[in-house]
Amino acid sequence: MRINADFSKRVVIRPDDYEWVKSPAAGVERMMLDRIGEEVARATTIVRFAPESYFDAHTHGGGEEFFVLEGVFSDETGDYPAGTYVRNPIGTSHTPHTKEGCTILVKLHQFDPSDRVQFHTDTTEAPFKPGHTEGVSVLPLHSAVNEEVRLVRFAPGARAPLHSHKGGEEIFVLDGTLQDEHGTYPAGTWLRSPDRSEHAPFSDGGCLIYMKTGHLPKVTA
């Protein structure tokens, strides 16, 4: 299976574009954003768990990163409410489940083998730092040899300068509306921009985004 597998192309998926498909687990549905592979795949997915649903125990052969968008996600290590960011490196395992239901943004099989840190962060409690642009603040989440992950908050009217993305950029709009010269992106929108792409993002009404950079294949000359 190949979904949005050409990383040299820009991709935008808004909530109106969602097409939910059933997973092998009862009560669990997926919106596949990008995917290379079958059930075990390099994948970026929105996963929606119905109340009292679960996945069987499994091991993360290529690592797992996820952000809880709604509800409470649970496993053997604890309960993770909306706003929690979790990293489970290569070789870790768990049995995901939920009592009340939840929705997560999850990325699989995208870890560098040297990236061995396992942790979770409650982003609703963590302090943001001033960014390089007035009205833009940043919450760093993780840094590895192949990626930088952070939350970025735009105050109403904040505008970032035109900049390029070495190694590409991936954005998920968590709250509010992000804008740039290419379009308007409401909450729930996923954007993937290729290596060396550029834009000048802004937000008239303010927004909060998840952003990952540097992790996409480089464009060769």
- Per-residue three-class SS string for 124-144: CCCCCEECCCCCEEEEEEEEE
pLDDT at residue 206 in the model: 98
Query: Which residues share a beta bridge with 41?
Result: 37
Q: pLDDT grade, residue 221 (50/70/90)?
A: very low
pTM of the model: 0.96
Average pLDDT for 40-54: 94
Q: What is the average per-residue pLDDT within 130-149? A: 95
Q: Within 13 A of 85's CA, how many CA atoms are on the CB side?
A: 17
Residue 39's SS3 state is coil
Mean pLDDT of 114-121: 95
Whole-number mean pLDDT of the chain?
95
Region 86-91 average pLDDT: 96
* CB-based contact 160:136 (threshold 8 Å): yes
How far apart CA 156 and CA 154 sit, in angstroms, is 6
Q: Which residues contact 21 (CB under 8 A, 6 or more apart)?
A: 29, 30, 31, 32
- Looking at this protein, which amino acid is placed at residue 199? H
